[in-house]
């Protein structure tokens, strides 16, 4: 009976990486016939040690497509559809999700996990979530109305670094590495105003005073003709001719600008160095050769990195030239010159700021957010979650478990730790019946764009939000239709009458998701903190957490990057990995490791109950009249 339902059951696999490959194989061999798989990534050499559906000849091709072809070779009778695309593409709307009986996530980033979670809630389709750490795994099920949704438990937000730390006062190697990646984009890649690398004079800590102007002027003089302008403008001014800009001479010049003159300039901001050790500028001429040979895991001398810097700038600029006018390079941890560039630039900066330099191998780990990954862990987790899938299809949701696999047996000699799924959290800002959230920020300093990008998209995982102010007039602040509210972008929220206690109704039509945002105005946020979600204490160590909380902090551990990984984009490795602190883990597991009774009744699954639909709560169908149609009487304001 179950076998019949398998062959007719349509299942969506999101992600065709480490877990995705295993999942596809397991599904096909378990008897699933109709499978759709989606992945936006292409195959990289470093995938081959575990993503067994791919071979060397496939490098550079679509993961989803090759996975499909390889799986079909083994099981020609299966009906597999592959999409080389992002699941966040609006094409994959609620209707798309409704085609499936089951959705299985094999993702590596939280943005996509959040999105699929919402789509599944909207479409009322069960979702099985999974992830692995190098030696710890987890899989769990989300069943609307009966279990927690992915976003019921707050997840620690991704670690980001304040701009001032990156630009002025790095104190850890990672700050220098982030800076070097920004620099790469500034010189060769896509423009991003948030990725500025030159000293930030607006740093409140520097507290610019008039009497400092003299020192500043001296520093400026040293620049000669070059004014204190952004790196990009400077690069542009050095030559509309790309050859001149990046030839050998200017490469030296450029490195002096970045590693000598900018540092001299930073030194003039002496407030910054009262409590810190001041940076030491580097002078190209004075550096002497100290060591040779490039080996991955070895730390070169300063001069070695100077040479590496020069060499990589030359290579990259010639790549840029080959690509022709207006071309951009995309930083990729697996592209040797790009990796060399970041290694060299980051190490020179580390040296300047008195940090111990790092080998290319280590820099690559940090710059690429690389997490070790092996075949065995993926195999284990994929085996587990297909069994969970079978339970759902057999209608035995109540027997589903969140399962943790420990690195080593816990005190009760258990490797696997199943936990009963929690019911939905009433306060969840996603699956509650009327989701509401309170956000604290300064209405005079927060722009509409920041609200859209930082708060709604980044923090609350929306794709194309529409925002309406609940001011009785239904003023539309942000419209997802192009060209309607862009003029508002750089205005402050206070310009629209938003103040303490204002309420914003935010809709994402694709996700069929409405969120009410309560505004709490404050002027007392810490420096570099743009906003705070009330009721959450991100990045705080969990104080004696309940089991489930602990569980979730593992699932979405600090390595869960906010961005999808692709071979050609910067972030993350293709397997989502959570580093499990064994202390916490042990505490969690010893507390929860009750062997679930394997009584006879559980095994007779044919007489399963069927009443789960009745327990489902109705989905909020409240449609906002706001941005849906623009010919009604809502006034769209654009201040000038």
Partner 1 sequence: MAATQASKEQKYDRQLRLWGDHGQETLENAHVCLVNATATGTEILKNLVLPGIGAFTIVDGHTVSGEDVGNNFFLSNNSIGKNRAQAATELLQEMNSDVSGNFVEESPDKLLDNDPEFFHRFTIVIGVHLPESTCMRLGSVLWSASVPFLVCKTYGLIGYMRLVVQEHTVIESHPDNALEDLRLDQPFSEFKNHIQSYDLDSMDKKDHSHTPWIIIVAKYLEKWLSEHNCQAPKNYKEKEAFRQIIREGVRKNENGVPEDEENFEEAVKNVNTALNPTKVPTALEDLFNSEQCNNITSQTPAFWVMLRAVKEFVHNEGSGSLPVRGTIPDMIADSQKFISLQNIYREKAMQDTAAVSKHVERLLQSVGKPPESISEKDIKLLCKNASFLRVVRCRSLAEEYSVDSVNKDEITSCMDSPDSEMVFYLMLRAVDRFYQQHSRYPGVYNYQVEEDISKLKLCVNSLLQEYSLNVNIKDDYIHEFCRYGAAEPHTVAAFLGGSAAQEAIKIISHQFVPFSNTFIYNAMSQTSATLHL
Q: Which of 145, 156, 418, 435 binds partner 1 (CB under 8 A)?
A: 418
Task: State the minimum distance, in angstroms, from the CB of residue 416 to partner 1.
Answer: 4
Question: Should residue 439 be labelled a site residue for partner 1 when binding is judged by CB under 8 A?
Answer: no
- Distance, CA of 637 to CA of 487 (rounded, Å): 9
Q: What distance, in Å, lies between the first and last C-alpha atoms of the chain?
A: 66
Q: Which of 37, 50, 66, 469 binds partner 1 (CB under 8 A)?
A: 50
Question: Should residue 527 be labelled a site residue for partner 1 when binding is judged by CB under 8 A?
Answer: no
Question: Should residue 606 be labelled a site residue for partner 1 when binding is judged by CB under 8 A?
Answer: no
- Distance, CA of 511 to CA of 629 (rounded, Å): 18
Task: State the minimum distance, in angstroms, from the CB of residue 373 to partner 1.
Answer: 4
Please check whether residue 89 is in contact with residue 109, taking contact to mean a CB–CB distance below 8 angstroms: no
Q: Is 382 flagged in the annotation as binding? A: no
Question: Should residue 416 be labelled a site residue for partner 1 when binding is judged by CB under 8 A?
Answer: yes
Task: State the minimum distance, in angstroms, from the CB of residue 600 to partner 1.
Answer: 4
- Distance, CA of 505 to CA of 467 (rounded, Å): 6
Which range in 79-87, 241-249, 354-362, 563-571 contacts partner 1 by CB under 8 A? 354-362
Task: State the minimum distance, in angstroms, from the CB of residue 405 to partner 1.
Answer: 8
Which range in 228-236, 446-454, 492-500, 599-607 contacts partner 1 by CB under 8 A? 599-607
In the bound state with partner 1, the residue whose beta carbon lies nearer, of 209 and 413, is 413
- For 249-272, the DSSP string reads HHHHHHHHIIIIIHHHHHHH-GGG
Question: Should residue 346 be labelled a site residue for partner 1 when binding is judged by CB under 8 A?
Answer: no
Please check whether residue 635 is in contact with residue 473, taking contact to mean a CB–CB distance below 8 angstroms: yes
Q: Per 3-state DSSP, what percentage of the chain is helix, strand, and coil (rounded to 5)?
A: 40, 10, 50
Q: How many residues bind partner 1 (CB under 8 A)?
A: 67
Both structure tokens of 368: 């690429």
- For 82-103, the DSSP string reads EE-S-TTSTTS-HHHHHT-SEE
CB-based contacts of 72: which residues, under 8 Å, 6+ apart? 78, 80
Question: Should residue 326 be labelled a site residue for partner 1 when binding is judged by CB under 8 A?
Answer: no
Q: Which of 243, 327, 408, 529 binds partner 1 (CB under 8 A)?
A: 408
Any idea of the CA torsion for 276, 282, 287, 291, to the nearest 10 degrees?
Answer: 60
71 to 9, 25, 344, 490, 566: CA distances (angstroms) = 18, 7, 42, 50, 22
**Phi–psi pair at 86, nearest 5 degrees:** -85, 135
Q: Is 110 flagged in the annotation as binding? A: yes
Which range in 71-79, 143-151, 162-170, 177-185 contacts partner 1 by CB under 8 A? 71-79
Q: Is 395 flagged in the annotation as binding? A: no
Which range in 406-414, 490-498, 525-533, 534-542 contacts partner 1 by CB under 8 A? 406-414
Task: State the minimum distance, in angstroms, from the CB of residue 172 to partner 1.
Answer: 9
Question: Should residue 73 be labelled a site residue for partner 1 when binding is judged by CB under 8 A?
Answer: yes
Angle at 173 between CA 171 and CA 174, to 5 degrees: 100
Q: Is 142 flagged in the annotation as binding? A: no
Task: State the minimum distance, in angstroms, from the CB of residue 263 to partner 1.
Answer: 15
Q: Which of 33, 52, 549, 608 binds partner 1 (CB under 8 A)?
A: 52
Question: Should residue 370 be labelled a site residue for partner 1 when binding is judged by CB under 8 A?
Answer: yes
* Beta bridge partner(s), residue 140: 129
Both structure tokens of 317: 């600029």
Please check whether residue 499 is in contact with residue 519, taking contact to mean a CB–CB distance below 8 angstroms: yes
In the bound state with partner 1, the residue whose beta carbon lies nearer, of 54 and 460, is 54
- Distance, CA of 593 to CA of 572 (rounded, Å): 32
In the bound state with partner 1, the residue whose beta carbon lies nearer, of 29 and 229, is 29
Q: Is 400 tagged catalytic?
A: no
**Phi–psi pair at 513, nearest 5 degrees:** -135, 130
Task: State the minimum distance, in angstroms, from the CB of residue 211 to partner 1.
Answer: 21
Question: Should residue 301 be labelled a site residue for partner 1 when binding is judged by CB under 8 A?
Answer: no
Which residue has tokens 């956000």?
439
- Distance, CA of 198 to CA of 203 (rounded, Å): 12
Site for partner 1 in 281-300 (CB under 8 A): 296
Please check whether residue 312 is in contact with residue 344, taking contact to mean a CB–CB distance below 8 angstroms: yes
Question: Should residue 499 be labelled a site residue for partner 1 when binding is judged by CB under 8 A?
Answer: no
Catalytic residue among 9, 21, 120, 164: 164
- Distance, CA of 205 to CA of 276 (rounded, Å): 12
Please check whether residue 467 is in contact with residue 478, taking contact to mean a CB–CB distance below 8 angstroms: yes
Which residue has tokens 């109709």?
34
Question: Should residue 363 be labelled a site residue for partner 1 when binding is judged by CB under 8 A?
Answer: no
- Distance, CA of 192 to CA of 177 (rounded, Å): 17
In the bound state with partner 1, the residue whose beta carbon lies nearer, of 381 and 431, is 381
How many CB atoms sit inside 10 A of residue 596's CB? 13
In the bound state with partner 1, the residue whose beta carbon lies nearer, of 543 and 613, is 543
Binding-site string for partner 1 from residue 458 to residue 497, where x marks contact by CB under 8 A and - marks none: ----------------------------------------
Task: State the minimum distance, in angstroms, from the CB of residue 498 to partner 1.
Answer: 36
CB-based contacts of 62: which residues, under 8 Å, 6+ apart? 39, 41, 42, 43, 82, 84
Q: Is 189 flagged in the annotation as binding? A: no
Binding residues for partner 1 (CB under 8 A): 22, 25-26, 29-30, 45-46, 48-50, 52, 55-56, 73-74, 76, 134-135, 275, 277, 296, 334, 351, 354-356, 365, 370-384, 386-388, 390, 401, 403, 407-409, 413-416, 418, 573, 582-583, 595-600, 602-603
- Please give the annotated binding residues for ATP, written as ranges: 15-20, 39, 47-50, 63, 86-87, 108-113
- Please give the annotated binding residues for Zn(2+), written as ranges: 149, 152, 428, 431
Catalytic residues: 164
- Please give the annotated binding residues, written as ranges: 15-20, 39, 47-50, 63, 86-87, 108-113, 149, 152, 428, 431
């Amino acid at each position: 009976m179950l076998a019949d339902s398998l062959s007719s059951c349509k299942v969506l696999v999101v992600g065709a990486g480490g877990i995705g490959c295993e999942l596809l194989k397991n599904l096909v061999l378990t008897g699933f016939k109709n499978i759709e798989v989606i992945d936006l990534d292409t195959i990289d050499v470093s995938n081959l040690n575990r993503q067994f559906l791919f071979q060397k000849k496939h490098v550079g091709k679509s993961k989803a497509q090759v996975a499909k072809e390889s799986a079909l070779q083994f099981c020609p009778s299966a009906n597999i559809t592959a999409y080389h695309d992002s699941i966040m593409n609006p094409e994959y709307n609620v209707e798309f999700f409704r085609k499936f009986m089951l959705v299985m996530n094999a993702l590596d980033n939280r943005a996509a996990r959040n999105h699929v979670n919402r789509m599944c809630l909207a479409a009322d389709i069960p979702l099985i979530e999974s992830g692995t750490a190098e030696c710890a795994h987890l899989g769990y099920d989300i069943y609307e109305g009966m279990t927690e949704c992915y976003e019921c438990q707050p997840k620690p937000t991704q670690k980001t670094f304040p701009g001032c730390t990156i630009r002025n006062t790095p104190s850890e190697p990672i700050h220098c590495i982030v800076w070097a990646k920004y620099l790469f984009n500034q010189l060769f890649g896509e423009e991003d105003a948030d990725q500025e690398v030159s000293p930030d004079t607006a740093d409140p800590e520097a507290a610019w005073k008039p009497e400092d102007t003299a020192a500043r002027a001296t520093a400026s003089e040293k620049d000669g003709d070059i004014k204190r302008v952004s790196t990009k403008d400077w690069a542009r001014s050095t030559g509309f001719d790309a050859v001149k800009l990046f030839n050998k001479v200017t490469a030296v010049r450029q490195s002096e600008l970045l590693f000598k003159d900018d540092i001299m300039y930073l030194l003039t901001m002496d407030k910054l160095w009262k409590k810190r050790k001041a940076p030491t500028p580097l002078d190209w001429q004075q550096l002497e050769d100290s060591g040779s040979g490039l080996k991955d895991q070895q730390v070169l001398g300063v001069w070695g990195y100077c040479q590496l810097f020069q060499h990589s700038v030359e290579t990259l600029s010639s790549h840029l030239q080959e690509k022709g006018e207006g071309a951009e390079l995309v930083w990729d941890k697996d592209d040797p010159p790009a990796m060399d560039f970041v290694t060299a630039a980051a190490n020179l900066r580390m040296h300047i700021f008195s940090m111990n330099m790092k080998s290319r191998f280590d820099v690559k780990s940090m710059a690429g957010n690389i997490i070790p990954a092996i075949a065995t862990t993926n195999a284990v987790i994929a085996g587990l979650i297909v069994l969970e899938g079978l339970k759902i299809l057999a209608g035995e949701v109540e027997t589903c478990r969140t399962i943790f696999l420990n690195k080593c047996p816990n005190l009760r000699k258990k490797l696997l730790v199943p936990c009963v799924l929690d019911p939905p959290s009433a306060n969840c800002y996603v699956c509650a019946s009327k989701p509401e959230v309170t956000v604290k920020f300064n209405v005079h300093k927060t722009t509409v764009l920041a609200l859209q990008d930082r708060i709604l998209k980044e923090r609350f995982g929306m794709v194309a939000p529409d925002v309406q102010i609940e001011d009785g007039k239904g003023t539309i602040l942000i419209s997802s239709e192009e060209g309607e509210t862009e003029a508002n972008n750089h205005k402050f929220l206070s310009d629209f009458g938003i103040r303490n206690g204002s309420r914003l109704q935010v809709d994402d039509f694709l996700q069929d998701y409405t969120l009410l945002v309560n505004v709490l105005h404050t002027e007392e946020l810490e420096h570099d903190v743009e906003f705070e979600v009330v009721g959450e204490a991100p990045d705080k160590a969990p104080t004696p957490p309940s089991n489930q909380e602990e569980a979730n902090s593992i699932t979405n551990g600090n390595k869960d990057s906010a961005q999808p990984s692709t071979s050609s984009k910067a972030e993350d490795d293709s397997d989502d990995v959570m580093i499990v602190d064994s202390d916490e883990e042990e505490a969690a597991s010893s507390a929860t490791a009750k062997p679930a009774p394997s009584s006879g009744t559980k095994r007779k699954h044919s007489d399963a109950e069927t009443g789960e639909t009745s327990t489902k709560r109705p989905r909020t169908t409240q449609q906002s009249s706001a941005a849906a149609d623009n010919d009604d009487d809502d006034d769209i304001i654009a201040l000038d």
